[in-house]
Structure 1
Amino acid sequence: MYNGNPYNAYKQNTVKMASKEQLLLMLVDGAVKYTKIARLAIERKDIARAHTELVRVQDIFTELMVTLDRNAGQAYEDLFRVYEYIKSRLVQANIKKDVAIIDEVLPLIENVRDTWYEVSKKAKGL
């Protein structure tokens, strides 16, 4: 029996059963989704929701930074700098509740997502 929402139970099980690669893809998908939600919340003057979603995306990029392979040399340095830049701009967007900053950083976040999907495809030989 489900004690709560069956969909939430499904989501929890999906995360628990996911590989490291799948978790990474879920994170970058979430970063795009929550950034778009934050942008819409700012436009609607829903400051609390914008804050919640922007903090969520900042947390995702913190997690991505922490889990980078430090032995990857220049690739590590480059990714870390990109993630750090995105995170700092998200902080500014949150402080200022500025859609223009989100419009600047969202394509970068989408590019990060797309890059990881391409890496995943190549790793699977697709």
Structure 2
Amino acid sequence: MYGGNANAYNAYKNNSVNYASKDQLLLMLVDGALKFAKIARQAMLDKNIIKAHENIVKTEDIYYELMATLDVSKGGDWAKKLQSIYQFIIDRLVQANLKKDVKIMDEVIPLIEDIKNTWDEAYKISKGVR
């Protein structure tokens, strides 16, 4: 019985990504970045270096993906500023990972939260939901 439920969940999860709009995928990415950053921070506190590293790398990968999808030619100055914020977050995550420094995570997690909240709000506005 459990195996069937796990398969059904995996099928649902895969389909939710396969059928998501670009906007929804972006929201999934920023949600994931925040989740992984928080897991990494807790892993540092728990002295679980491997788990901290893996989750920081996942967070970095999401920000690399977000940078790759930014259309600077259409987004102009706004996109360039966003790109520099993404790069700053990646740079700080690299430092946090190298030093296993919770203080750097405490600095960067609020930025990740702000970006997530901004994209959530932009999505709601674009859909006429408030």
Q: TM over 0.5, yes or no?
A: yes
Distance 1:5 1:100 in 2: 40
1:109 aligns to what? Answer: 112
Shift of 1:31: 0.5
Identity %: 54
Shift of 1:12: 1.1
CA RMSD, Structure 1 to Structure 2 (Å): 1.6
Aligned residue pairs: how many? 126
Distance 1:7 1:49 in 2: 24
2:21 aligns to what? Answer: 19
Distance 1:39 1:72 in 2: 32
Shift of 1:6: 2.8
CA displacement, residues 10-51 of structure 1 (integer Å, 9 cap, x when unaligned): 211110110000000000000110000000101111100100
Distance 2:94 2:7 in 1: 33
Using the size of structure 1 for normalisation, the TM-score is: 0.95
**Is 1:91 paired with 2:97?**
no
Which one of 20, 26, 32 corresponds to residue 30 of structure 1?
32
2:65 aligns to what? Answer: 63
Distance 1:121 1:32 in 2: 19
2:52 aligns to what? Answer: 50
Residue segments in structure 1 that go unaligned for 5+ positions in a row:
none
